[in-house]
Amino acid sequence: MTASTHQSPSVTASTVEEISEGLGEPDWLTEIRLEAFEAHDELPQPEVIHTPGRRWTNLDDVDPAALADPDQSASAKDRIEADGAEVLAWAEAVDQHPEVIEEHFGSVVDPQRDSFTALSTALFSAGTLVYVPSGQAAEDVTIRTSMGARSLFNYTLVVAEESASVTVLERQSSAATDATDRYYSGVVEAVAGENASIEYGTLQNLDSDTTALGVKAGEADRHGTIDWFEGNLGGGLVKASVETTLAGDGSETRIVGAFFGHDDQHVDVASRVDHEAEHTTADLVTRGVLDDRARSVYEGVQNVGREAWDTSSFQRENTLMLSDTSEADASPKLIINNHDTEASHSATVGQVDSEDLFYMTSRSIPDQAARDMLVEGFFEPVLDEVTLDELREDIRALIADRLETR
């Protein structure tokens, strides 16, 4: 893989130290940032699917270091707290819960996972801690990010202690700026303790000039649950990875995704679950629509470990293409190392069903209206999986807007 070879002269190790000092971080965290910054130029790019003669997502032209803007103050971030949870900006989190950060920061997402993640670790300033103490329940935590700078490096740590629960809804959008080439990086780590539950929904609606790369990863302890709901409607080149490690007996996860690509968008969606304990359950569901010259890449991995007895793991991915110039590729994978497993995976790519379209137009529904209704109906099975009502309705509204502007 190709490593990033260009480094913005405006971003140096001193920049990293200034960010860390400004947030009041302890020495150990500053050191992690500096090590990540030093390593990022030599680390490989994020993994993408390769087949002979072809790389399904080309990141060679993406150089986050060249786009890195040390001043990220033009971006805004709103955090709406809910009863039962503390939702803290990073400086507050460092001051009030240093022990929580030291225990969990980097515990799920390796700060040097790849070159892009390492740079994000080094430069993030818009950090958030969502902390739910043992036995507490919190609903409707909301995080809104409005990107007004050339670059934004975002980080969120969610910790739900034993028997705690929390629902988080994150929105990402663009604000007006003169920059025509922008870069967004988001890292989310989620830690669900024993018998704890985390529901994390994201709606990415950045403008088409923005390259957006995100990594969300969670680890669930015994009887813990982590559910991810991922909506990708915006961005130019988008690469979104969502992963759960089922580390405790009886732990569960759902990874639900929806995307709608148009113009020349490239959407790369990766879902992964690692079954490491007994009696674990996973359900991965993704649906996407492509129009114009848009392209999608989907990779889903269900990895069942040797000690993962009595595993249930299911995966479905469906893509609907509205134009002859759109393109979709899918690669669902099962890796099974324990015979006591019930698992399945499937992926389909197709166009609007001609019989369904004939049925509707024969009942006096205009052709375009009938096609739009079929597209909206195509998303319904996956939207029905989204338990966060506000996120589900927002995705529906954006899909309707997208169809109206075709």
pLDDT > 90: what percent of the chain? 88
129 forms beta bridges with 88, 157
| 61-111 pLDDT, tens digit each | 999 988 888 777 778 888 988 899 999 999 999 999 999 999 999 999 999
DSSP-derived letter for residue 359 is H
Rounded CA Rg of the chain? 21
- Rounded CA gap, 281 and 289, in Å? 27
Amino acid at 274: D
Phi, psi of 366 (to 5 degrees): -55, 150
- Rounded CA gap, 368 and 351, in Å? 14
Report the pLDDT value the prediction gives residue 54, as an integer from 0 to 100. 85
Token code pair at residue 93: 């989190």
- Rounded CA gap, 125 and 20, in Å? 8
What is the value of pTM for the model shown?
A: 0.94
Q: Is the pLDDT of residue 126 over 50?
A: yes
Q: Is the pLDDT of residue 2 over 70?
A: no
- Rounded CA gap, 298 and 296, in Å? 7
CB neighbours of residue 319 within 10 Å = 25
Mean pLDDT of the chain: 94
Burial of 389 (0-12, 13-18, 19+ CB in 10 A): exposed
Report the pLDDT value the prediction gives residue 136, as an integer from 0 to 100. 98
Token code pair at residue 219: 């680890």
Q: Is the pLDDT of residue 350 over 90?
A: yes
Token code pair at residue 388: 């966060």
Token code pair at residue 96: 């009030």
CB neighbours of residue 356 within 10 Å = 15
CB distance 272 to 303 below 8 Å: yes
The dihedral formed by the CA atoms of 13, 17, 20 and 21, expressed in degrees to the nearest 10: -170
Q: In 3D, which of 56, 36, 53, 43 has the Cα closest to residue 2?
A: 43
Helix axes 367-383, 354-361, angle to 10 degrees: 120
- Provide the CA 26 distance to its chain's centre, in angstroms: 28
DSSP-derived letter for residue 208 is T
Q: Is the pLDDT of residue 139 over 70?
A: yes
Planar angle of CA 146, 208, 368, nearest 5 degrees = 115
CB distance 102 to 130 below 8 Å: no
Report the pLDDT value the prediction gives residue 53, as an integer from 0 to 100. 83
| 168-190 pLDDT, tens digit each | 999 999 998 887 899 999 999 99
3-state secondary structure of 76: strand
- Rounded CA gap, 212 and 202, in Å? 13
Q: In 3D, which of 208, 202, 204, 271 has the Cα closest to residue 237?
A: 208
The residues, any chain, with a CB within 8 Å of residue 199's CB and separated by 6 or more, are: 166, 167, 168, 227, 229, 387, 388
With b meaning 16 or more CB within 10 Å and e meaning fewer, what string describes 9-35? eebeeebbeebbeebebeeebbebbeb
| 190-205 pLDDT, tens digit each | 999 999 999 999 999 9
Report the pLDDT value the prediction gives residue 25, as an integer from 0 to 100. 98
E strand or H helix at 253: strand 252-261
Binned at pLDDT 50, 70 and 90, residue 365 comes out as very high
Phi, psi of 358 (to 5 degrees): -65, -40
Domain ranges of the chain: 13-405
- Rounded CA gap, 70 and 312, in Å? 45
Q: How many CA atoms lie within 13 A of 174 on its CB side?
A: 23
**Mean pLDDT, residues 255-281 taken together:** 98
**Mean pLDDT, residues 202-216 taken together:** 97
Amino acid at 234: G
Higher pLDDT, 6 or 222: 222
Token code pair at residue 339: 């015979």
Q: Is the pLDDT of residue 9 over 90?
A: no
Report the pLDDT value the prediction gives residue 263, as an integer from 0 to 100. 96
- Rounded CA gap, 87 and 73, in Å? 20
Report the pLDDT value the prediction gives residue 8, as an integer from 0 to 100. 53
42 forms beta bridges with none
